[in-house]
A and B are shown apart, each in its own frame.
Chain A
Amino acid sequence: AQSVTQLGSHVSVSEGALVLLRCNYSSSVPPYLFWYVQYPNQGLQLLLKYTSAATLVKGINGFEAEFKKSETSFHLTKPSAHMSDAAEYFCAVSRPSSGGYNKLIFGAGTRLAVHP
C-alpha cells in the first residue's frame, strides 16, 4: 500500500527565508509524486509532479522538489519565501496504472505561515 508522511503540520518562516516542507513516501512500486497547494477557500492547485524523469522537479511560483529514492523523500523547497506563499501544502503519491487513472494518496498537509 502507498502512504505519505508530511513532517510538521505547521511551518513558519520569515519573508525571504528558505522554505523547506518535508514529505516521505512509502510505495511498493516506483511512485508518481505530487505537491499541491491550497489557498483559503480554494481547491487544490498542482505545484509540481515527479513522474520518473528528472529527479529535480521545478514547479510554479519558484518551488522545486527533489526525488530521493534512497531516502524515500520528496521535499519541497523555495529559496526565498514570499508573503503570498502562505497556504496549506499537500504531498501526494500515486502509482502507475494501466487504466489511465491515478488515485492520489495525500499526506496530512503542512500549513505554511510567512511573517514579515
Chain B
Amino acid sequence: EPEVTQTPSHQVTQMGQEVILRCVPISNHLYFYWYRQILGQKVEFLVSFYNNEISEKSEIFDDQFSVERPDGSNFTLKIRSTKLEDSAMYFCASSEGGDLQPQHFGDGTRLSIL
C-alpha cells in the first residue's frame, strides 16, 4: 500500500538554525498537510497546501515557517530560525482531496532543538 514517507526520522539542530523537514506524499494525492505534536500534548494542525499554495494555516504557522513543493514529489516544511519551543514531532499527511477522503500520515520527524 502506498505510504507517506518523511525524512529524517530525527533531526537535532542548534537554536537559531534553519531546518528543513521533508515529506514525500502519496503520488496521486492533491492535498498536503503538516501537523506537530509537542511531547505530551495534542497533535496540532499547522498548514494545508493545495495547488501550490497554502489553503489554510494555524496561528502557530508564523513567518518563521514556510512550506514548498519544489518538485512533483516532495513537500517540505522549513523553519527559518528555530526556537527551543519548536521541539516536537512533525507529521506530514496527504489526501486525495474531497471531504470524504481521509488523510494518510507519515511516521513523523522528531525535531530536537538544543
Contacts and interface: CB of A to CB of B under 8 A. Distances in A.
Partners in one complex: yes
Interface of A: 32, 34, 36, 41-46, 49, 51, 90, 92, 94, 96-97, 99-109
Interface of B: 4, 6, 30-31, 33, 35, 41-45, 48, 50, 55-56, 91, 93, 95, 97-100, 102-108
Given A41-B107, A46-B104, A106 B95 contact: no
Nearest to B110: A41
Interface of A is mostly: loop
Nearest to A39: B107
Contact of B102 (A49, A99, A108): A49
Contacts of A42: 107
A109 B31 CA distance: 25
Query: Which of B50, B103, B105 has the most chain A CB atoms inside 10 A of its CB?
Result: B103
Contacts of A94: 99
